[in-house]
């Protein structure tokens, strides 16, 4: 999977992912790949449950590997640009996500990748 804004990123741009049903998620990993600076300078990551209640909220700089504070039941993931990544000349980079990996916690502490 690859996703891109196909234009310079702006504050308020977001990417949302619905994984179909609640799962017990312990880690979220986003890969911006080889696209230099194709990620927001600062963004907010929210995980939401079946009722759209916020389960985790993380504010991050740069590409993300996000071990959650505790495994939680998650249905949706929402990432929003707070501060776009700017070039030295004042321009703004596009935003691309090359891969997303989620770790689902299973019985007895085992886990598996679901995406």
**pTM beyond 0.85:** no
Per residue in 15-29, pLDDT tens? 899 999 999 988 888
- Confidence band (pLDDT; 50, 70, 90) for 80? confident
Q: Is residue 73 predicted with pLDDT exceeding 60?
A: yes
Per residue in 1-56, pLDDT tens? 678 888 888 999 998 999 999 999 888 887 765 566 677 778 888 899 999 999 98
* Residue 89: C-alpha distances to residues 37, 38, 99 (Å): 14, 16, 29
Average pLDDT, the chain: 81
- Confidence band (pLDDT; 50, 70, 90) for 75? very high
Q: Report long-range pairs for 89-93 (Cβ below 8 Å, ≥24 apart).
A: 91/8, 92/8, 92/9, 92/10, 93/8, 93/9, 93/37, 93/38
pLDDT given at position 45: 85
Identify the structural domains of the chain with CATH numbers, from first to last: 3-105 (2.60.120.260)
């Amino acid at each position: 999977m690859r996703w891109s804004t196909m234009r310079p990123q702006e504050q308020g741009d977001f990417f949302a992912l619905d994984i179909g049903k609640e799962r017990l998620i312990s880690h979220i990993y986003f890969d911006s790949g080889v696209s230099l600076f194709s990620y927001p300078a600062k963004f907010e990551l929210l995980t939401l449950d079946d009722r759209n209640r916020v389960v985790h909220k993380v504010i991050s700089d740069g590409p993300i590997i996000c071990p959650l504070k505790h495994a939680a039941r998650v249905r949706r993931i929402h990432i929003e640009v707070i501060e776009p990544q700017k070039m030295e000349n004042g321009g703004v980079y596009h935003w691309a996500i090359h891969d997303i990996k989620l770790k689902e916690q299973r019985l007895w502490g085992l886990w598996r990748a679901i995406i």
